[in-house]
Amino acid sequence: MSETMPSIGELLTATVPMVRTLQLEYLETTAERAVLAMPDRPEYQNHVAGPHAGAMFTLAESASGAVVLGAFGDQLGRAVPLPVRCEVAWTKLARGPLTAVAELGRPIAEVVAELDAGQRPEFPVEVSVRREDGAETSHMTIVWTLRPNS
């Protein structure tokens, strides 16, 4: 990012131990999209030699958090972003390194307008986790909120 401001990926790598544990790599972080990669490591694998569901969940949730920070980082002085609920579908066997693509599901201005109106807005983030061959191995919808500071 700049010499004085860390990137979202640098910030999350420094502050979230699981990001370091899983060696997640932030390939892209914007206000509407984040792309993260997770290497294929034996210690992350399950009984069928694919990435464990918990590691895949963490990859997807981390991607969603990165896009939320990209979209609403300027609101942190007055609200805390928190995941509210999640739905996940495991669609194909995962093998090898994985990539998660997270996309914000509502316009930023709409969410901020609700916060300005004194509401606690909710918004979805859609995440697709894919193998190297491009096949989607899981899809997650995480609903986030901006909880106003007391």
The number of beta carbons lying within 10 Å of the beta carbon of residue 36 is 30
> What's the whole-number average pLDDT of the chain?
94
Instruction: Give the pLDDT score at 3.
Output: 59
| pLDDT 10s digits, 83-106 | 999 999 999 999 999 999 999 999
Quick one: average pLDDT of 23-34?
A: 96
Residue 53 amino acid letter: A
Instruction: Give the pLDDT score at 1.
Output: 47
d(CA 138, CA 129): 5
Cβ pair 64, 85 in contact under 8 A:
no
Token pair for 62: 């981390």
Instruction: Give the pLDDT score at 25.
Output: 96
d(CA 93, CA 45): 12
**In the chain, what are the domains?**
8-148 (3.10.129.10)
Say what the pTM is.
0.92
Residue 56's nearest CA partner among 141, 137, 125 is 137
Residue corresponding to tokens 């007391």? 150
